[in-house]
Amino acid sequence: MNEPLRAISKLDRVIHEPGRLIIVALLSGVKECDFQFLLAETKMSKGNLSTHLAKLETAGYVEIEKTYRGKVPMTLLRLTRTGRKAFEEYRQGLMAAF
């Protein structure tokens, strides 16, 4: 197998899915954000975004915090240290492929 194909085959499959890649890329640029921000930026449905976030949380890449702003429920999202490291490794692996 040639080197670019080998590099692509080693990419993190949790992050590699396009929807999750967008989420992780957006979260990598901020300390934290709320669900509504990701909803607007990704243009996903609430259900689709929630499903991707659940997979990222299960992998230990995203931390989800349910809180309130006054009396309004709010969901805060942030990449964990593990998530930031995994995204950096993903980026390096992608660059190695090209």
Q: What is the CATH number of domain 3-97?
A: 1.10.10.10
Instruction: Map residue 69 onto helix, strand or coil.
Output: strand
* pLDDT tens digit sequence for 19-30: 999 999 999 999
Separation CA 42–CA 95 (nearest Å): 24
Separation CA 82–CA 52 (nearest Å): 17
Domain boundaries, the chain: 3-97
* pLDDT tens digit sequence for 36-69: 999 999 999 999 999 999 999 999 999 999 999 9
> pTM of the full predicted structure?
0.91
Q: Give me 32's structure tokens.
A: 């934290």
* Average of per-residue pLDDT across 77-82: 98
Question: Which pLDDT band holds residue 8 (cuts at 50, 70, 90)?
Answer: confident
The whole-number pLDDT of residue 1 equals 58
Separation CA 24–CA 26 (nearest Å): 5
DSSP 37-82: HHHHHH---HHHHHHHHHHHHHTTSEEEEEEEETTEEEEEEEE-HH
At position 35, the amino acid (one-letter code) is F
Question: Which pLDDT band holds residue 18 (cuts at 50, 70, 90)?
Answer: very high
Separation CA 61–CA 54 (nearest Å): 10
